[in-house]
Structure 1
Amino acid sequence: MRAAVTTRYGLPDVVEVREVPTPTPADNEVLVRVRASSVCFGDRIFRSGPLLMRLLSGFRPRHPILGVDLAGTVETVGPGVTRFAPGDAVYGARGDKFAAHAEFACVAEDGFIARKPATMTFEEAGTVFVGAACSLYFLRRANVKPGERVLVHGASGSLGVFAVQLAKHFGAHVTAVCSSANVHLVRSLGADDVIDYTAQDFTDGGPVHDVIVDVLGKAGFPRSLRALKPGGRYLLVGFSGGLGGIARALVTGGFVHLRGRARFVNGAAHPKQADLVFLQEIGGTGTARDHYAELADSVWTQYAYARNAVATPGHHGNALLSRFPIVRHENEDISAHAFESRGMLHCVLKPGPRMPELHCLNV
């Protein structure tokens, strides 16, 4: 099978499409022919290899094939599998085992996998774990109640778009913080109020929020306390800063937690299979939808296309990948002001020998 393989840390061009052995499902595993996956911030971190990652995982990538989310059809099943059969349309995730960026991937029957709702496309279902399941995990830890005020900072990213919708599903009044380019997007997801961080400081309104969801720590801690009610819950969902910034946030958060000023919640998400069923139910009724990234039906030929899109700061979430050859590509700086760092990826594709070139823009 073909897979996107990373044998060393570095920029997007370290990823290569190679032929690798097709995995064989264990007794309790399902072999999935992957129709869609996603490229998320975690993939970028494991590919680029910042110092902390190298200290924890070694100086060569621990996971040569990245990718967490997946959706596709069951190819074969292990002898002990009873819930799935070849041909079933499924979705789920590989979790911390990665390896979803390939034509085939194995998932344990009792792991994060379920039948794909008929109302969801493979592309929509292929983004659920990183975005929806992780957001659900943290919101449940915060025990969000109807009528509470929830602020989501980073509301246009792959986690934030689900955090907005799930908080609304739980009955909260949601304030979304994003850049001016994404205001329309987060409003369409159901946010009650939207703050453009390029024009307004989200702490100006004072401590009025019961819960703050800080995606990748971009809101800043303890600065965010100015917008959080005493005793409120601060959810630090992932990190984007260096080792020093992470240490300061954890130490300060622990101190604030012990003093009772706020409940500081962080750490790795641990979704359960039941969460997938819950998301399947509300997704099937149209309550939650994703701002998804589409993956070609077969493995893409130039994987750097997706990586360039995701590596650009200020992205919406996951990237568009192409199954067709990329003739040329370039990244353009289209930042509107000094507070934004935004790029536009321009790619020229060649769909076929008798087809005209196709120009794709990814902002």
Structure 2
Amino acid sequence: MGFLKTCVLRRNACTAVCFWRRQVVQKPSVRKISTTSPRSTVMPAWVIDKYGSNEVLRFTQNMMIPMIHYPNEVIIKVHAASINPIDVNMRSGYGATALNMKRDPLHIKIKGEEFPLTLGRDVSGVVMECGLDVRYFKPGDEVSHKPKSLTHAQAASLPYVALTAWSAINKIGGLNDKNCTGKRVLILGASGGVGTFAIQVMKAWDAHVTAVCSQDASELVRKLGADDVIDYKSGNMEEQLKYLKPFDFILDSVGGSTETWALNFLKKWSGATYVTLVTPFLLNMDRLGIADGMLQTGVTVGSKTLKHFWQGVHYRWAFFMASGPYLDDIAELVDAGKIQPVIEKTFPFSKVPEAFLKVERGHARGKTVVSVV
């Protein structure tokens, strides 16, 4: 987690997840690519030199400030960042195979050459420098055109969980503001970052939301708009759910044993859909390698999809999807007052290891944020 980030605006993808709109990218220049000269100064950062437990996090004041390498990049001075469970998992090596493939598609790097590695994906800050092909942003812009109603800390808490939930609900689940009225929705893991966002967007679209969380989070999810709240600690979940009407859509951010029973509570033969965010995709690649891991993943999702299709419901996996247009839609809901960031705790930059431990312990009530500036 560094003080600065290079944000690559390649169509709808960004190395740092932040609020931005689609940027038309011209053919890369082979000459000067930046609006300013390259810097040779250093910055403070939290890095890891190997995968492991929280002790691998190391603070340095001598990380080189990133330079613009392509004319469609911008450099951001980070004001705030948030930590997601995937960041904690990646600290321990989760997804290393896919990460290194993305970093080095030709596989010519030596194992371990990704270090020192800077973790983190959500940021909010100010544009310091732009590549020559960048037209939509300019130095001084708040990254990237964040909702004016939000502070940097609030803005940093939203993009990753918002886009993850949005891809599950809208892109994979097919729900939107025009077809959601009256739909019965069940959200498993409702008090976490994805869950708290999902509740709000489903209520903004006039769905009926049942939220599953622990009793101490029930007040929070009700304030966010949940119509019914089920305490998963108060007894057998299946017994509690069987007294409710079947659901049109289930969003599962818990995984594990929930998959063995949750689909039973969908409306049969009506287009009802179960979407899980807990998949073995990266684990398969870490364990089996890229080719065999992708093959095993395809077999798994295919067999499960077919099995549940014959039982009258749709089974789907969802992942985070970077998208400028989606963030535009989310920003509109934020500025309209229909979505509010849910931040459980904010840590100073000096306490990044404590912030990682907070997320690692689980039982989130919204997001954990790090104040950088």
For each residue in 1:230-288, what CA deviation from the matched residue of structure 2 results, as whole angstroms up to 9, or x when unmatched? 142001013499769x9797466324344253211104232421111101111001101
Alignment correspondent of 1:312: 361
The within-5 A match list for 1:239-318 is 239=279, 250=301, 253-292=304-343, 300-318=349-367
For residue 229 of structure 1, give the secondary structure of its aligned residue in structure 2.
coil
Q: Percent identity, please.
A: 28
**Distance in 2 (alpha carbons) for counterparts of 1:169 and 1:37:** 26
Which piece of structure 1 moves more, 234-243 or 210-219?
A: 234-243
Q: Structure 1 residues 166, 218: CA separation in 2 closer, same or farther (over 3 Å shift)?
A: farther
Report SS of the residue matched to 1:319.
Answer: strand
Helix, strand or coil: the match of 1:20?
strand
Q: What's the CA shift for 1:217?
A: 1.3
The two structures have a TM-score, normalised by structure 2, of: 0.72
Q: Equivalent residue of 1:115, what SS?
A: coil
The match for 1:169 among 195, 204, 213 is 204
State the SS of the aligned residue for 1:238. Answer: coil
Match for 1:79: what amino acid? L
1:108-145 per-residue CA deviation (whole Å, 9 max, x = no partner) reads xxxxxx30121111111102221111111111121232
- Counterpart residue number, 1:127: 157
Q: Structure 1 pair 292/156, CA: closer, same or farther in 2 (3 Å)?
A: same
Which residue of the partner structure matches residue 278 of structure 2?
238
Q: Is the 8 A contact 1:177 1:202 kept in 2?
A: no
Match of 1:5 among 47, 51, 62: 47
Task: Give, in whole Å, the separation in 2 of the partners of 1:31 and 1:57.
Answer: 21
**Are the aligned partners of 1:137 and 1:271 in contact in 2 as well (CA < 8 Å)?**
no
For 1:320 and 1:88, how far apart are their aligned partners in 2?
21
The structure-2 alpha-carbon separation of the partners of 1:178 and 1:237, relative to structure 1 and needing over 3 Å to count, comes to: same
| Distance of 2:325 and 2:370 partners within structure 1 | 30
1:71-220 equivalences in 2 (<5 Å) = 71-90=124-143, 114-140=144-170, 141-144=172-175, 145-204=180-239, 205-206=241-242, 208-218=246-256, 220=258
RMSD over aligned Cα atoms: 2.8
Alignment check: 8 A CA contact 1:8 1:61 kept: no
**Bigger strand share:** 1
Give 3-state SS (helix, strand or coil) of 2:315's partner. strand
Cα pair 1:234 1:262 within 8 Å, conserved = yes
Q: State the match for 2:90 in structure 1.
A: 46
Assess, with a 3 A threshold, how the Cα gap between structure 1 residues 56 and 30 changes in structure 2: closer, same or farther: closer
Alignment size in residue pairs? 296
Amino acid at match of 1:237: L
Aligned-partner Cα distance in 1 for 2:204–2:372 = 36
Structure 2's unaligned 5+ residue stretches are 1-42, 101-110, 288-295
Indicate the residue corresponding to 1:330 in structure 2: none
CA distance in 2, matches of 1:293, 1:70: 17
SS of match in other structure, 1:17: strand
- Residue 142 of structure 1 aligns with an amino acid whose one-letter code is G
Q: Distance in 1 between matches of 2:250 and 2:315?
A: 10
Indicate if the aligned counterparts of 1:236 and 1:265 stay in contact, CA closer than 8 A: yes
Contact 2:47 2:58 (8 Å CA) reproduced: yes
Contact kept, 8 Å, 2:78 with 2:372, in 1: the verdict is no
Instruction: Provide the secondary structure at the position in 2 that maps to 1:264.
Output: strand
- More contact order relative to length (CA 8 Å, sep ≥ 6): 2
CA gap of 1:282–1:305, structure 2 versus 1, over 3 A, is same
Q: In the alignment, residue 76 of structure 1 is paired with which amino acid?
A: E
Q: What is the Cα deviation at residue 35 of structure 1?
A: 0.5
C-alpha separation in 2, matches of 1:154 and 1:15: 28
Residue 219 to residue 136, structure 1, CA distance change in 2 (3 Å): farther
| TM-aligned CA distance change 1:170 to 1:322, over 3 Å | closer
